[in-house]
Chains A and B, each alone.
Chain A
Amino acid sequence: GQQLNQSPQSMFIQEGEDVSMNCTSSSIFNTWLWYKQDPGEGPVLLIALYKAGELTSNGRLTAQFGITRKDSFLNISASIPSDVGIYFCAGTTNSGNTPLVFGKGTRLSVIA
């Protein structure tokens, strides 16, 4: 099935460092969503973006909806050990929400 291009695939960082990951698509999306998934659990919604150019923060997390509507990034500032997990971007081309197209995920490891 279709998937977004998400990078990097994995990251090892020191606690306190900032993290950046991004997603690109060949198609225009109307909605971008960022999820975090811990082992054995379902994805948890972090940030939702609905307008091109929109920049939204949720605590130490900041995400932006690219102007071209074909990309999005997620930044995590001052990482902590509980940030460990897999981060997924997801987008939809419909004016509604589904179906979501997901990236392959970015596996984040934080070294204390």
Chain B
Amino acid sequence: DAGVTQSPTHLIKTRGQHVTLRCSPISGHKSVSWYQQVLGQGPQFIFQYYEKEERGRGNFPDRFSARQFPNYSSELNVNALLLGDSALYLCASSLAGRGISGNTIYFGEGSWLTVV
């Protein structure tokens, strides 16, 4: 079975532009989460989606948005890019969202975003 797949793997954008990152979860997984990892730090939680609904949001500005589609894939959108948005954006999938214990979270390879 394929793991969590993300696209694109690398991209370069200019300040002020918009970016869309895509994620397909592991087959059968209904929950997708997004994390931002800047160099030298651990990943920081951005969003969680379960059954197409937002179930959690981290401390990120409104320039960040996401959605989940009926096939459980997801998009992360970032508007008005800033230099500080340069990071590895990780998508993670799990079987279920909150209220279900004992599940584990698997990460994709990530999308490297460089803002110049």
CB within 8 Å of B: which residues of A? 1, 3-4, 6, 30-31, 33, 35, 40-45, 48, 50, 88, 90, 94-105
Contacts and interface: CB of A to CB of B under 8 A. Distances in A.
A104 to B, nearest CB: 5
Contacts of B42: 3-4, 6, 88, 90, 102-105
B84 interface: no
Interface in B33-51: 33, 35, 40-45, 48
A100 B59 CA distance: 13
A35 B100 contact: no
Contact of A99 (B4, B33, B109, B112): B33
B101 A98 contact: no
B60 to A, nearest CB: 9
Q: What does DSSP make chain A's interface, helix, strand, loop or mixed?
A: loop
Nearest to B97: A96
Nearest to B109: A42
A26 B3 CA distance: 33
A94 B92 CA distance: 16
